[in-house]
Amino acid sequence: MDLFSNPVLMALGKQLDSASLSQRVIANNVANVNTPGFKKSFVSFQEKLKAALGKQEIVMLTTNLRHMGGAPAMENVAPSVVQEKDSTMRYGENNVDIDQEMVNLAANTLLYDTSSLIMSNKFKGLENVIRGGS
């Protein structure tokens, strides 16, 4: 089994990709807050991740009878940008709420920071094992 195909590391990597994409989408929404006819977008990822983790069976991959392992496949889970066309916030058919976008930005920043910290700690643990625990 490949060291970097660990399902936790794969999920964290995909979460970081999603948070990065969300940052760009939120920035685009904020930049177009006064553009008539602009429709805001958001990133859809959490639902896909939950669905992938919830509906797939766990496949047990082992190299020894005493090992427990396996996890749902993560390769098909990817963030996507969705445009919200059904709502209108202001005159000019624009639907960007600057206050909501700032809340989304703060939440996304926390999510990115937390995900990167967890991934960093995972790699520090691997480094500690490779160095022999010293």
Residue at token pair 């990822």: 45
**Would you say residue 133 has pLDDT above 60?**
yes
What pLDDT digit, counting tens, does each position of 57-93 carry? Answer: 555 566 665 665 544 457 778 899 999 988 776 667 8
**Would you say residue 116 has pLDDT above 90?**
yes
What pLDDT digit, counting tens, does each position of 17-43 carry? Answer: 999 999 999 999 999 998 988 999 999
Q: Which residues contact 87 (CB under 8 A, 6 or more apart)?
A: 95
As a whole number of angstroms, the distance between CA 95 and CA 13 comes to 31
Task: Give the model's pLDDT for residue 3.
Answer: 65
Task: Give the model's pLDDT for residue 72.
Answer: 46
Instruction: Count CA atoms closer than 13 A to 7's CA, side-chain side.
Output: 15
Global pTM reads 0.77
Average pLDDT over residues 100-111: 97
